[in-house]
Amino acid sequence: MYIRTGTIAMLLVAAASVAFAGQQPTAKAARPDPAVLKQDRAMIAAGRAQLKADRAARNRAAVQQDRAKLRQDIQKLLADPGIVRNRLKVNATVQNAKAFLAVQKEFGSFDKYLYSFMPDGKPVINHPKRGMIPPRTELSDAISKDMKKRGFKFFGTTICYAHMQATGMVNDHMDDCDFR
């Protein structure tokens, strides 16, 4: 069973409040043993590290399963009328999965890789005028160029900029937009 870290923290707070309900505070509380505190902190840190490692392993497994499935089903995909049946694009999907795993391994996550291009590692907040949202920027040019060097296919600067907008790396909403 998978429980989010925030949920565990809420359960611990609830359990502590029930455990201590009705007890009167003492005039002088005993100080906990520093060795015990150190051990507790080490256990909490190890638990966090384990959660992080588990999440990373699940993400890697999902990408690897997707990549393996694509290899097995390329002919089936090329016959599917519901997708673009361009052999180059279908093969590029497999290549992109390999490149994605390589970037993930090098940077720790794909997110860290993308945000390494961002000024100060933060999203760009633009203030465009109506009808003046660009299809690409120098930033999307740089990311796209680097991704091509890393083996990604069919990821030009316009697609890159659209991805940046969709994921919140760039905010191009008008100043009067409710989503700003």
**How far is 126 from 172, CA to CA, in rounded Å?**
5
**How far is 40 from 37, CA to CA, in rounded Å?**
5
Q: Give the three-class secondary structure for 109.
A: coil
Q: Give the three-class secondary structure for 125.
A: strand
φ/ψ of residue 160, rounded to 5: -60, -45
pLDDT in tens, 6-41: 444 444 444 444 444 454 545 555 666 777 667 767
State the CB neighbour count (10 A cutoff) for residue 110.
Answer: 14
Q: Within the chain, which residues score under 70 in pLDDT?
A: 1-32, 36-37, 40, 42-43, 45-61, 63, 66-67, 69-71, 179-180
